[in-house]
Structure 1
Amino acid sequence: MKNFYVPLADRTITLLPITKEHIQEMRKLSSDSDVWTWYTEDLTLPDALEAWMTKRLEETEKGEKMTYTVQLNETGEIIGSSSYGHIDWTEGGIEIGWTWLGKKYIGSGINKHMKFLMLNHAFETMGIERLELRTDEVNVRSRKAMEKIGAKYDGTLRNHRFTQGGKRRNTVVYSIIKSEWEGIKSSIFKEF
């Protein structure tokens, strides 16, 4: 796995493997509660963000996740994070998720850059056959974003997991399979 956990970059952003050194920069972004509306955890408190990052580092060490920070090339600032998870090398499956951006970057087009880099890396370098994306059933913005990048709705996992405040959510699952990638890349991501 470590051979695949490398920086990914295009003209706008660089996805960097997460390190403890990113904590201070990410704290600046985490204080806005609007960022965490749909996230399963509320990371507005500095201790919560540090615990979240420590968990991501541990999961990466165990080979369970590969978490990236999102760096804006123009300024060098860290503006968010995204991860590969539920990695199944035997079946060639992976999930992209645990994604968040600082409030001023939500809706800016940065997410499309992130997804292109991660999809391209998964299908063309890692040899992935099936890639999943998941979100809360009622998170319409996220669902539309998944559909805009060519992901197809697979179904709903009812009463799937806890969200903030101990409430249970239904999780919708979308996917892209390897045979669809070239068509998606040449149409939806043609400018990349």
Structure 2
Amino acid sequence: MKDKFYRPLKGEKITLIPITKEHILQMRMLSSDSDIWTWYTEDLSNPDALEGWMTKRLEETERGDKMTYSVLLNETGQVIGATSYGHLDWVEQGIEIGWTWLGKKYIGSGINRHMKYLMLHHAFEIMDIERLELRTDEQNIRSRKAMEKIGAKYDGTLRNHRSTQGNRRRDTVVYSIIKSEWSQIKSTIFKEF
């Protein structure tokens, strides 16, 4: 099923393209700023750590467990980050968007919003998904606000859900958008696309 839907998603500013080993090598240059990895379960500020983490995403994609995309800036063709669809449930038509990161230069630039539009559009209108989830560390206020800005609703908290950096157990907040909400979200929140 993955192969039917795993294709480039092209927008005005960016293209989400199926990840390759070559993309991962380009991503190494973006790892050095530790600020972008604060809320990740692993510290990826070392190029080798980021390459290893992204290689795992590629392997999960090859097995059909994820659909990981490299984020390419259309203007330059440069790889500037990555994102994935995961927890693919083709029977119940559920999916999660996550494992998303951008080079520091692109945080707050509107690229993430553009990326989420492409992924939501593809999930609801092409893949015919019924429920889409987004998750983050409960303490990651910036990410939570971004999820709310795109129309996602808070579903609950998975307490003591997983280990993270600094030997801390994190509580994971879960947000979702369901298919019946997409038309309204698309025509209001994403009306410029």
TM-score by structure 2 length? 0.97
Moved more, 44-53 or 131-140: 44-53
Percent identity over paired residues = 79
Residue in 1 aligned with 2:184?
Answer: 183
1:153 — aligned with what?
A: 154
Distance 1:56 1:120 in 2: 22
Deviation at 1:152, TM superposition (A): 0.2
Deviation at residue 165 of structure 1 after TM alignment: 2.6
Q: After alignment, is 52-61 or 150-159 more displaced?
A: 52-61
Deviation at 1:11? 0.7
What pairs with 1:4-153 in structure 2 (closer than 5 Å)? 4-153=5-154
Deviations 1:89-132 (A, max 9, x none): 01000000011010011111100000000000000011100000
Moved runs in structure 1, 4+ residues, more than 6 A? none
Which structure 2 residue ranges, 5 or more long, are not aligned? none
- Displacement after TM superposition at 1:138 (Å): 0.7
> 1:23 Cα shift?
2.1
Q: Which residue of 1 aligns with 2:170?
A: 169
- Aligned residue pairs: how many? 192
3-state SS of 1:91 partner: coil
Distance across 2 between alignment mates of 1:75 and 1:62: 31
What code does the residue aligned with 1:26 have? M
Post-superposition offset of 1:3: 1.4
> Partners in 2 of 1:78 and 1:143 — Cα distance?
25
What is the Cα deviation at residue 12 of structure 1?
Answer: 0.5
Segment drifting more, 158-167 vs 124-133? 158-167
SS at structure 2 position matched to 1:111: helix
List runs of 5+ in structure 1 lacking aligned partners: none
Which deviates more from structure 2 when the two are superposed, residues 56-65 or residues 108-117?
56-65
TM-score by length of 1: 0.98
Matched to 1:133, the amino acid is: L
Distance in 2 (CA, whole Å) between partners of 1:7 and 1:132 is 21
